[in-house]
Chains A and B, each alone.
Chain A
Amino acid sequence: MDKIGISLLLFISFVFTPFAFAEELSLQGFLQTNYSVRVNDDNPQGAKQGNLILGEERAQIKASFYPEKSKIGAFVKSDFYHDWVEEDWAFDFREGYLDFMDDKFGFRIGRQIYTWGVGDLLFINDTFPKDWEAFFEGRPLEYLKIGTDSLKLDVYSDIVSAEVVFMPNFLPDDLPSVGRFHFFDPYPNIPNRELEKPDSAFEKFGNMEYALRLYRYIGDFDVSAYVYNGFFRSPGMKADNFNSPSAISNFYPELAVYGLSLQRSALGGVVSAEYGYYDSLDDRSGKDPGINNSQSRFLVGYQKAFPEDFTVGIQYYGELMYQYSQYEDNLPSAFAKTKQLHQYVTLRLTKLLKYQTLKLSLFTFYSPDEEDFLVIPEISYNFTDNLLGVIGMNIFTGAKDDTTFGQHKKDTNIYVTARYSF
């Protein structure tokens, strides 16, 4: 795909340039350096560069071409970087698509990033692939989202508008990986595991993932309804015997999600609510310990702005597990046990100073049932319009080693980013 991305970029840059007006073709990008260092010296097994979790120099080029009075357009965004942890150079073809726009509908085909739902860093109906490792090591927020090769159809109408996304090639989430993070493994003695990814829909048509969002503005509400059909993006586990396995493999179980979200101005701020039913298609009975049970996921959020550029956001999020007694009955002793209702409370504080050039922010995840935290304090400063500096921390703490954030508690890190945009 990288080759396709670069070719598309070159195509747009060189073929269209002589014909294009300055406004129709736009070329931009940035140069960036981004480092993250583990605070304590207890490095995970396989750590290649000691405390260095992330160390990279990166260049990004963005090109878009949208001719006036034309129904087509194109966009490409590609990164080229050097990674000090892996000690290699690589392309990262982030996005690249062709657009066709008409009065009542539009198509977009190519690699695209989607962000759905009303949660702030809590995703229910946004089932698109995410890079949690990037997020936990302090890369800029946009790197949490991974572009997916997809076809999107937009339909616009006064009654209801729709986005339909077809994704033929399954992409999993990028989770904290060996060598960069500590994490809980119920079977540390069996390191070699096959990872089985769903075949592309070009080989097996039934594997076509699709996501649908219907939306409209009703009264003063932004209302969206969602359907997703595809796979869990974090792996399930297969074992010959979960109590004393000799062979383990990982795979991505089938998943369907049905949901709804609402958002409106209320109570002097913005109120959000979202619900999603996670239908675990491969384990509806809840008996398979290697596959998540079906769940209801929900959140409510409230965001309020105070004088002098100070904003506060709070959220409550829950995952309610179904067939809980089956889950308990079949849970292998090595596994971490999840409560029937797994919850998070989040808090976001943002303060802007010095004509909004200085931003102080704090984001906190807290789970009362898993008794763990992720706290992210960050300071960012625009030295000029072009030069941004960021310093922050990802602070993981927890009572136990096998919970979502608790498993990374030795990976508390300090990160810095400097970005020159052009």
Chain B
Amino acid sequence: MKIIKSSLILGLLLILSAILQVASAQNSLTAQEIIAKSRLAFYYAGNDGKAKVAMDLINKAGQKRLRELTMLRKDYQEGGEQKYFTYFHKPSDVKDTTFMVYKYPDRDDDRWIFIPAINLVKRIAANDKYSSFVGSDFTYEDVSGRKPEEDTHLLLREDKLDGRSCFVVESIPKVSSVYTKRISWIDKTNFLPLKEEFYDKQNELYRQFEALVVKDINGIPTITKRVMRNIKTGHRTEVTFETVEYNLGIEDDVFSERYLRRPPLQWIR
């Protein structure tokens, strides 16, 4: 009897798993896979990239501050190590300041800043991934990405956003973070995040990301205008990519002390 019972269960399990496999093939992707693909589409587009970026920092009263910068990025491994180089054009008191990041998959970044007024290159501490990037509503993590393994992901549903079909994925941080839940609307065709909502410890929405303009740049879908709103403070940051280029063959040595001190003119203008 026992043998018959066990084989019955085994048979049922086999059938069940077959059904599940078919089902998942139809859906084709798990929530984790969607997030991983989205990260590559958003943070690892091309082998390298250059963008001239304007950031408008706008407070509740509508007062604007402006940051204008050129950002260079080079990928060393898809989904892994990257190097970033940022040159500030504006505001005028930080003009010629440069900032360099070596980003590693499994440990804290290495970061350097160059302060032109005293001709100083110094390393800066980098474990503050939730700190604001240049006073904006974007955190360092928003600018350089978060590993999919840091959260538990759940595919909530599929949805339409401005006519685009999206996966809606809920991500819960495995270790305590500044937010307790993130919900992402990810475009089903190009995997770019079109909207993200961040919830705080009271489970209230406090920060919201939206992609406003998506363009095709050399065959690579790119968000060229985005906004991050802080729902609680009324502050928002609008980011416009004035120019974007990919696969330029940016040399490795651009990401070095030499160019921190003497910005590589052919790349930053």
User: Hey, which bits of chain A sit against chain B, CB under 8 A?
Assistant: 23, 26, 28, 30, 66, 68-69, 99, 101, 106, 112-115, 118, 141-142, 144-145, 154, 156, 161, 215, 217, 220, 222, 263-265, 268-270, 272, 303-309, 311, 352, 355-357, 382, 384-386, 388, 419, 421-422
Contact = CB atoms under 8 A, between A and B. Distances in A.
A386 B92 contact: yes
A215 B135 CA distance: 32
A265 B112 CA distance: 11
Given A68-B269, A113-B118, A142-B117, A305 B127 contact: yes
Top 4 closest A-B pairs, CB basis?
A: A356-B135, A305-B128, A385-B91, A142-B117
Nearest to A384: B65
16 contacts: A112-B119, A145-B118, A161-B257, A217-B256, A269-B127, A270-B123, A305-B131, A307-B131, A307-B178, A309-B128, A309-B132, A355-B57, A355-B136, A355-B235, A356-B132, A384-B65
B65 A385 contact: yes
Contacts of B110: 220, 264-265
B95 interface: yes
Given A161-B258, A217-B256, A355-B235, A306 B128 contact: yes
A23 B123 CA distance: 29
Select the residue from B109, B137, B269 with max chain A CB neighbours within 10 A.
B269
Given A356-B132, A386-B93, 10 more contacts: A68-B265, A113-B118, A156-B258, A265-B126, A270-B126, A305-B125, A305-B128, A307-B131, A355-B137, A382-B65
A26 B109 CA distance: 33
B13 interface: no
B91 A421 contact: yes
B125 A141 contact: no
A101 B127 contact: no
B131 A309 contact: yes
A422 B269 contact: no
B125 A355 contact: no
Give the dominant DSSP class at B's interface.
loop
Interface string B87-129: 0001111010000000000011110000001111011111110
A304 B95 contact: no
A268 B135 CA distance: 23
Contacts of B135: 352, 355-357
A223 to B, nearest CB: 11
B134 interface: yes
Interface string B67-91: 0000000000000000000000011
A92 B65 CA distance: 31
> What is the size category of the interface that chain B forms with chain A?
35 or more
B258 A355 contact: no
Select the residue from B107, B109, B256, B262 with max chain A CB neighbours within 10 A.
B262
Given A306-B128, A309-B128, A30 B258 contact: no
A191 to B, nearest CB: 35
A303 B131 contact: no
Given A161-B257, A385-B65, A421-B93, A307 B119 contact: no
A84 B51 CA distance: 47
A114 B108 CA distance: 29
B59 to A, nearest CB: 8
Contacts of A269: 125, 127
Contacts of A144: 118
Contacts of B136: 355
Given A66-B265, A106-B262, A215-B257, A304 B125 contact: yes
Contacts of A308: 130-131
Contact of A303 (B124, B253, B256): B124
Given A115-B120, A161-B258, A356-B132, A268 B108 contact: yes
A382 to B, nearest CB: 8
B132 A28 contact: no
A421 B262 contact: no
B66 interface: yes
Select the residue from B90, B119, B136 with max chain A CB neighbours within 10 A.
B119
A101 to B, nearest CB: 7
Given A106-B262, A307-B130, A113 B125 contact: no
Contacts of A145: 118-119
A113 B131 contact: no
A10 to B, nearest CB: 21
Given A161-B258, A421-B92, A305 B123 contact: no
Interface string B254-269: 0011100010011001
A145 B265 CA distance: 26
Given A142-B117, A355-B136, A305 B265 contact: no
Contacts of A309: 128, 131-132
Contacts of B253: 156
A168 to B, nearest CB: 19
Nearest to A382: B65
Interface in B210-261: 235, 253, 256-258
Contacts of A304: 125, 127
A357 B233 CA distance: 15
Given A265-B110, A355-B136, A421-B92, A141 B118 contact: yes
Contacts of B125: 265, 269-270, 303-305, 311
Contacts of A352: 132, 135
Nearest to A29: B92
Given A112-B119, A304-B125, A306-B128, A101 B262 contact: yes
B139 to A, nearest CB: 10
A420 B128 CA distance: 30
A19 B211 CA distance: 41
Select the residue from A23, A113, A355, A356 with max chain B CB neighbours within 10 A.
A355
Contacts of A106: 262
A30 B92 CA distance: 9
Nearest to A216: B257
A304 to B, nearest CB: 5
